Amino acid sequence: MPQFVPITQDVLIERLVERLRALPGHRVIAVDGADAARPVDLADRVAAALRDTGRPADVVSLHDYVRPASLRVEFGRDDISYRTAWFDYDALRREVIDALHTDGRWLPALWDEATDRSARATIRPAPADTVLLIAGPMLLDHYLQFDLTVRLDMSEQALRRTTPPEEHWTIPALLDNHETSTTPTFFARWDHPDRPALRVD
């Protein structure tokens, strides 16, 4: 049975940075978690800590890789649409993960979810040893090639407590993703982000 030990966000960030110091070259990291877990916030902190060491780092939000609304809600808002139609994982693979490793470049955003229009983002060149942190929900079960993964895991009770009522329809999809096909490098219980617990094997 997995064991968990108390940890702070600061210590988790330190461990991530330490692990990445042993991984030179272009690297792509997943910070997987429901919006209620605020994965982008943690990814931003990790990127800042990496930049403090002199290593280039940036964050890509999965919500900047949504599909157009006509495709997202074609069959309504339910757990199936959120799991399979909401985010453009293929574009994320092509424009961020593969582009970084193959061409030394990446596209920070594809689609503006609020305006439902192209994000009109500019392709960015990636300096040597760039680390990109992709943050958002359901990243670990779409056969994306990450160099290191972080899972911010929340129980159903925590999701219902912290997710806005108008977004509760997404919770079944998030819970279905609870057991992913990819074993995270770092798995943290995140029901209380101010006092998380890290799984140790």
* Burial track 139-178 (b if 16+ CB lie within 10 A, e otherwise): bbebebebbbbbbbbbeeebbeebbeeeeeebbbbbeebe
pLDDT at 73: 79
pLDDT at 177: 60
pLDDT at 97: 98
Domains of the chain, residue spans: 3-196
C-alpha to C-alpha distance for 20 and 31, rounded to whole angstroms = 14
What length is written for the chain? Answer: 201
C-alpha to C-alpha distance for 173 and 138, rounded to whole angstroms = 9
Q: What stretches in the chain show pLDDT beneath 50? A: none
C-alpha to C-alpha distance for 153 and 156, rounded to whole angstroms = 10
pLDDT at 63: 97
* Cβ atoms within 10 Å of 122's Cβ, excluding its own: 8
Reported as a single tens digit per residue, the pLDDT across 3-37 is: 999 999 999 999 999 999 999 999 999 999 999 99
Q: Where are the alpha helices (DSSP H) in 98-162?
A: 99-103, 156-162
Q: Which CATH class is domain 3-196?
A: alpha beta
C-alpha to C-alpha distance for 138 and 196, rounded to whole angstroms = 20
The pTM of the full predicted model, rounded to 2 decimals, is: 0.94
3-class secondary-structure state, position 136 = strand
pLDDT at 183: 85
